Amino acid sequence: MSVSVVAHAKRIVDAPITTWILLALPAPALLADIGVNERYYAELMYESGLPAVQLMILALAITPAMWLTKNWPRVHGIVRWMGKRRRYIGVAAFGYAALHTFFYIREIGSLDLVILELSEIELTTGWLAFVILLALALTSNDFSVRRMGKRWKRLQRVAYLAAATTALHWFLFDQFLNEMLWWFGLIALLQIARVLIQRLGSRRTAVAR
């Protein structure tokens, strides 16, 4: 393959628009229902909730994956590529959560009822996750990173709380644990593996001294 073809392909892969196109792939089928309201409510809720969960998990998986792939340069390169786009991934997760919320409000059809249902734990957990994703999406820009300094990193950590409340939200609505456990188990396992490897690494350094 000539050098210029490779350089051209790399430019396409690295362009922000490529990431946005990939992240937007599930969106057209959902957006198409906004005006027509033809699809089943449960189907829309599942199809908007799932990409929100998947992207949230993907964003959270990047840090432990960086640690775990340190000795595999090729895989590590892919993880780093995703790491540079983590903000886009978080914003897209919020976008699907916003669509999910829109379908809910449209189905309920009354603001009073939405407020009344807020106190039901399966919905309180959803709203809490939504508010966190909103705060993270609003601060996903260079200006906020500069302005907030250390507080920005601290705010990013609340993403774990969003993941925990979403897991509870999903479980309370759909007690077939299978799919939920698969996604949230994955992030729990990655975190456990990262902590174990970090500890092992620091013990080895201590022994070598």
Residues near ligand HEM (CB under 6 A) are 42, 45-46, 49-50, 52-53, 56, 97, 100-101, 104, 123, 126-127, 129-130, 133, 166, 169-170, 173-174
Residue 150 contacts residue 121 (beta carbons within 8 Å): no
Kindly tell me the sign of the dihedral angle through the C-alpha atoms of 168, 172, 176, 179. negative
Nearest CA among 174, 132, 181 for reference residue 46: 174
Distance in angstroms (rounded) separating the CA atoms of residues 128 and 169:
10
User: What's at 49, amino acid-wise?
Assistant: G
**Chain position carrying tokens 């964003």:** 59
Closer Cβ to ligand HEM, 88 or 130, answer by number? 130
Q: How far is the CB of 55 from ligand HEM (least distance, A)?
A: 8
Closer Cβ to ligand HEM, 186 or 193, answer by number? 186
Q: How far is the CB of 86 from ligand HEM (least distance, A)?
A: 16
Closer Cβ to ligand HEM, 26 or 49, answer by number? 49
Closer Cβ to ligand HEM, 88 or 104, answer by number? 104
Q: How far is the CB of 24 from ligand HEM (least distance, A)?
A: 17
Report long-range pairs for 42-49 (Cβ below 8 Å, ≥24 apart). 44/103, 45/100, 45/103, 45/104, 48/96, 48/97, 48/99, 48/100, 48/103, 49/96, 49/97, 49/100, 49/170
Q: How far is the CB of 43 from ligand HEM (least distance, A)?
A: 8
Closer Cβ to ligand HEM, 104 or 190, answer by number? 104
Distance in angstroms (rounded) separating the CA atoms of residues 10 and 207:
43
